[in-house]
Structure 1
Amino acid sequence: MDAIVLGETMMSLRSTGPWRLGGSATTSVAGAESTVAIGLVRLGHAARWVGRVGADEPGELVVRTLRAEGVDTSAVVRDPTAPTGLILFERRTPDVTRVLYHRAGSAGSRLSAADAVAGLAGGTRLLHVTGITPALGAGPLAAVRAAVDAVRAAGGLVSLDVNHRSLLWSADEASRVLRPLALRASVVIGSPDEIALVGGDDLTGEVVTKLGRDGARVRTRDGTWSAPAHRVDAVDPVGAGDAFTAGYLSGLLDRLPPAERLARGTTTAAFAVQAVGDWEGLPTQAELPLLGLPPGTTLR
């Protein structure tokens, strides 16, 4: 594998209005790590998702969707005693999306160290984890630690997207757990607040800071680089950060210099926000140049 990602993927429902009023909704899947996996596959890399789903129809939707996108699902565990998690997206106003989780006791929250080690079979150049998985419980935290230990011992790269979720745990608790992981990561990715949460200046690997409308920057041992964001009409901002991460890690796997890694990340993020859904708008390698074409261009 070029990359293995570890975490929970849920069935997602997106409403066209307030949930309390009823109405229609669309069904898909969502998960920070699986969004990165899909993004990497579309950009030409071999990626595997390691996780648990329930032995239920939402679980089958998760596996079927990832498999259809070319993600390796050979390490997926189907749990007969726990359901697949559910995430609800509510467009409360044109500019505000509210996210509701139903993941307590889910199959994903039962991910174990044994699951993680088994999922690494065959090896990988890169392991990608987020700060979401350790917040799901002792088992998922052990899974992340075991995977990081195994990949580091084998000489692989480890990337950590801090992805702090305040609904799952406090900043103090997240800092206590994630800082040791960040210190062992080859690449740490996050917003300015998230980077500070895990140690900031103490980090010795690559530190990639997502700056939203101001683009992104990376600090390596050789210097600091930055890239502006693309000015596009955003349809759905959810998933932009994970899309950026997929683009940046793709550039890392392709051995691009830091500035070009950042540029690929901001490009994939710009594609993502122009479509509804976490991962649906992610580009392929061949589509990356399309963002630079003049408005109204028709390709024939």
Structure 2
Amino acid sequence: MRKNRALLAAAAFSIIIGLSFMFVKISLTYEGQLLILAQRFTFAFLGVLLFLAIKPIHLRLGRREVLIVAVISLFYPIIFFSSQILGLDQTTVTEAGIIQAIAPAITVLLASIFLKEQVRKVQGIGIVFSIAGVVFLQLMNSSGGYDFHLIGNLLIIVSILATAIWQVMSRSATKSIAPIQITIYIMFIGFLFFNAVYFINGGSAEEYIGSLTEIPYLLSILFLGVLSTFGTSLLSIYAVSKLPVIQVSVFNNVATLITILSGVLILSEPFHYYHIIGAAVIIFGVILVNVKKKIKYKKAA
């Protein structure tokens, strides 16, 4: 039962993440990056407060646990959300979604190094394929006469690295800290950090409140704050606390597909033939990374 709940949590996490790229892109048509991040975490923190009002949680942690949470917060939310929104401002949702497909490969690599989760030869080959697919996309973009989104795509890769590190660290941290405790603390840190950055850089309360009168923007921020920030943090940390990080990472395939479809079908972004080739190479690599062990190993056990 716990395994099924963790699998459902991982699936829900990936679906929300897949849609979040589109909502970030929509919000960027209305306001700047700093305001979006500040408001996103304000709504995320309001979601935390509502959650605590319904179900009070013991939040006291020791010094060691506080340090662990602080380090996790550096990668997620600070580095992850900063690099993601900066990247999406300089690339398309479609390309970001395709690049997102390398996340499982990176997660598997880090899990093998830091969590000692076994990586088989076929998974190593898959990692190479995934990276090769991303390189191919960038070479085609630069040589085909289309817009070259090198900086934007590199920032998306940074956000993927931050996600992988966060999941690996969370897997280890949940041995001594409850998933909900980690989630609440990183939401609070994100709320303080991004709002402080916004106001220090000249942001005004009038702009902060006035921007929320635009209904499409408000709906985007609500989705990004409550579901895509607070919701996915809780779902992801819960999933990796119950399942191996390598197993959870396979659900990034769902996020990749939804991101690409939302960019092409809803935002009407261009989709070229080389996107199909690059996506196929990346996803083939991801499949290799997550291929199951041969049955003979199970029999030997």
Give the structure-2-normalised TM-score.
Answer: 0.24
Q: Rg bigger for which structure?
A: 2
Q: Is the helix fraction higher in 1 or 2?
A: 2
Higher RCO (C-alpha under 8 Å, 6+ residues apart): 2
Q: Is the strand fraction higher in 1 or 2?
A: 1
Give the structure-1-normalised TM-score.
Answer: 0.24
